[in-house]
A and B are shown apart, each in its own frame.
Chain A
Amino acid sequence: MSSATRYTATAISLHWLTALFIFATFPLGVYMHELALSPLKLQLINYHKWLGVTILLLTVARLAWRATHTPPPLPETIPPWQQRVAHGLHLLLYALLLVIPLSGWLMSSAKGFPVVYLGLVQLPDLVAKDKALGELLTTVHQTLNFGLLALVGMHIAAALKHHFIEHDATLRRMLPFGKGI
């Protein structure tokens, strides 16, 4: 019955790919923002946008997976209130993984720089060029990202707590290797 106690290979791959891309995109965004204008900065901005669009696509795929699958249950040893908090946190994470790339895309449009995914596919501009809106969206994008940083921190801390302190199967459900409960 390992199929019922662990996420499917698809869900596990999508989760860890998302994690990998978040850990690349977030520091890239912070770093490139501070750079003086140079070809490197322009390249990094584009890579950041491509990564962001990739995260958006992965998140849409993950929501489609969730809509068609039932996730393996949390261990019964976890009290119901913690399960509800975990569920709420996951919902917020999904919401941010949709809204953050969208806010970046909106910000690009408002600043008059279209997003061309992988340098090949031009995405439509979501809003017309508007300097004030571009600056507002920059703040929104940054603020949402620090929200994501806090949530990811809680997500990792909870996973590690369950794995190393409570020795339950919470994390093992999502690990790419090993057995289920």
Chain B
Amino acid sequence: MEKSPLLMLLLFATTIGSAQAAEFNQVQINKSTLTFAYRQMGVPLEGKFGKFTAQLAFDPARINAAQARLEADLASIDTGSSEGDDEVAGKLWFNTKAYPAAQFVSSGVKALGGNRYEALGKLTIKGRSLDVSAPFTFRQEGAVGIFDGAFTLKRLDYAIGEGLWADVGTVANEVQIVFHIVTNAAPPIKK
């Protein structure tokens, strides 16, 4: 029996599809980083979260199904000085005893053209949940998918640094969150 052109086309599309439609969902947490940058009286400073977890599912061919969930252990913060680390664990800052983690849960991903995307979702810190959008790029190197992105939050929106620290002339309100997440594609499903 002669194969119909339509069937050929379908077969072809499926082959292409399965070659490209790799879902990147195995987060390599040790290769990933979650850092932040802010200004203190004009002085640019950086810090990082030593411990965080990330669950991701991202297939560039099916971004409507993309999902992300990140959780940062706020006690693992490195502000650059031990004095600073102790301070931000306190009630006026993160109050890590009551609110040990910051969470981002995605609600969707938008394609911005090329390798640029935007993750939308809710960021919850210190009991406050706000909508955020984080532009990022996605780079594929074989079976490895690398996400790089950043967004800026206003710390006072989350009551981070209350009371005497609410003065944004000393520690700026804007804090840039920078993420670099390395994933592997899911192993192919054997039939």
Contacts and interface: CB of A to CB of B under 8 A. Distances in A.
Interface of A: 37-39, 42-43, 46, 111-116, 119-120, 122, 129
B44 A37 contact: no
B44 A46 contact: no
Given A39-B171, A111-B81, A116 B43 contact: yes
Contacts of B171: 39, 42
Interface of A is mostly: loop
B88 to A, nearest CB: 10
Contacts of A116: 41-44
B43 A39 contact: no
Nearest to A121: B42
A43 B80 contact: no
Contacts, number: 42
A111 B171 CA distance: 18
Interface of B is mostly: mixed
Interface of B: 40-45, 80-81, 83-84, 86-87, 164-165, 167, 170-171
A122 B83 CA distance: 23
A122 B40 CA distance: 12
Given A42-B170, A122-B43, 12 more contacts: A37-B83, A37-B86, A39-B165, A42-B40, A42-B171, A43-B41, A46-B40, A113-B43, A114-B43, A116-B42, A122-B42, A129-B80
A37 B90 CA distance: 12
Nearest to B87: A37
Contacts of A38: 164
A38 B167 CA distance: 11
A2 to B, nearest CB: 45
Which of A37, A46, A111, A115 has the largest count of B CB atoms less than 10 A from its CB? A37
A115 B43 CA distance: 7
